[in-house]
Structure 1
């Protein structure tokens, strides 16, 4: 008998070859599953809310894992330590990751998942933040690993204007790398661009889901607008054309952080997962 767990993570993506397990390469999934397998003494697989590319960071990522219920129940926690089994598991996973030398991956929490929970299909939205240091920004060496440098002075007002025209339900094929069997239709709920008090430019993007390279391609287009190489109407014009017959400018991974993921109330998780699965299937 298995038990589904929800595990919340954060990671600094610089030294990872992305989320997905790859033979011979260090990945977030590979490190996490190695730690889970060490704790449960058998191979444990994971399903993630949103796969991140090489170099992309996550302040808050969510996965689920199906584990032996008996083994989980036997974890110390109910007596003595004062920890719940979930807290005990999080503690053990942190120890396993430390043993593996994975100081750039942190387990924030672990607990039995509510009925119907699916880390990938239950979310209502994912939110990313992209940070840019242009010629007008003050360098911040403490944030260099989460900031993309740009030599030009960018016009953040023009970028914000262009961003507003991309909101809503669209086929984002012009800004996506399609995957077989999946749709590129997404609802972009938020795309705000502003210069921050520390002088860096930040873009905050929220959507029901993002297809492959969608965030970085949108940012790449907005940077071209901000640098004056394209008009503010250019990104929306590409979106309206609905084709990939133009050069896609993919911004570097370095400035991208997965900030948070929104789920519905527990009683709506199963219905949301079923709805999302149906919608994601290619026509």
Structure 2
């Protein structure tokens, strides 16, 4: 059975998603808990999007393939359905900064990574003393100067669409930096916190944090709104673009199609990735 795992985590004390020797990672922690809960030697998951060290997630998605008899046996004497029992047992094993919201049987054709059609991130900034809350300091960036939300939205508009984001990505040999940015904008909430919403089909390394760093420079008046588009068209990293701190960034949601489109989307994404990355 292919299972879908919906999870959330506070990324502060994790060295990112991807499993690394001698480091505490989300993947390593989750897979160890799954192996214990299922009473198997190893459990390997596939994730919708790898997050960097310090980045949080409310709506992360992964999948795991597990034999039906292994799943049934892991429930033991529980009267709950096996997947419900697995979720309950996982949360009894996992540390408090990593929570599984649900484990379900994935529909036919589902792939947590390749079936996804968009990922939505939020980046939160407190730019005034009244907006700074010590209780949210682990996921809201404190910014020392006031931000012009209208100017940032004007600067963000030309970045939306199918673009080469080489100017905002950490290059990886043989990998493409072409992405479709579906939405990029800023709102100020009633609490005074400025929240950026960033939605794309996929992201390359450091892309969201570099985009936000560029637009914060516009928001505080160091650069004009036209600067973001100029940086994009330069197609190379600009020394004026700062990659902002990871702790303000949260993966909020992953979007998937329904029905037969799940498998079709996965096939398209794999073919695209193979043709672009070689």
Question: Normalization by structure 2: what TM-score?
Answer: 0.94
State the number of aligned residues: 275
Structure 2 vs 1, CA of residues 155 and 245 (structure 1 numbering), >3 Å: closer, same or farther?
Answer: closer
Give the Cα–Cα distance (whole angstroms) in 2 for the partners of residues 20 and 266 of structure 1.
29
Asked if the contact 1:124–1:208 (Cα under 8 Å) also holds between the matched residues in 2, the reply is yes
Give the Cα–Cα distance (whole angstroms) in 2 for the partners of residues 37 and 158 of structure 1.
50
Give the Cα–Cα distance (whole angstroms) in 2 for the partners of residues 181 and 264 of structure 1.
29
TM-aligned CA deviation for residue 139 of structure 1: 1.6
Give 1:96-111 correspondences, 5 Å limit: 96-97=93-94, 102-111=95-104
Is 119-128 or 83-92 further displaced after alignment? 83-92
CA distances 1:217-248 after superposition (whole Å, capped 9, x unpaired) = 00000011111111101111111122235454
SS of structure 2 residue aligned to 1:266: coil
CA distances 1:36-63 after superposition (whole Å, capped 9, x unpaired) = 1112222011111010111111011000
Residue 257 (structure 2) aligns with? 264
Give 1:24-173 correspondences, 5 Å limit: 24-40=22-38, 41-76=40-75, 81=79, 83-97=80-94, 102-135=95-128, 137-173=130-166
TM-aligned CA deviation for residue 157 of structure 1: 1.1
TM-aligned CA deviation for residue 156 of structure 1: 1.3
Structure 2 gap ranges (5+): none
Moved over 6 A (4+): none
Q: Which of 264, 275, 280 pairs up with 2:273?
A: 280
Give the Cα–Cα distance (whole angstroms) in 2 for the partners of residues 173 and 86 of structure 1.
42
SS of structure 1 residue aligned to 2:113: coil
CA distances 1:115-143 after superposition (whole Å, capped 9, x unpaired) = 11111110010000000011365221221
SS of structure 1 residue aligned to 2:159: coil
Q: Which of 12, 15, 18 pairs up with 1:14?
A: 12
Cα RMSD for the two superposed structures: 1.6
SS of structure 2 residue aligned to 1:146: coil
Give the Cα–Cα distance (whole angstroms) in 2 for the partners of residues 193 and 113 of structure 1.
34
Residue 4 (structure 1) aligns with? 2
Structure 1 gap ranges (5+): none
Asked if the contact 1:129–1:258 (Cα under 8 Å) also holds between the matched residues in 2, the reply is yes
TM-aligned CA deviation for residue 34 of structure 1: 0.4
Give the Cα–Cα distance (whole angstroms) in 2 for the partners of residues 120 and 237 of structure 1.
32
Asked if the contact 2:78–2:85 (Cα under 8 Å) also holds between the matched residues in 1, the reply is no
Question: Normalization by structure 1: what TM-score?
Answer: 0.93
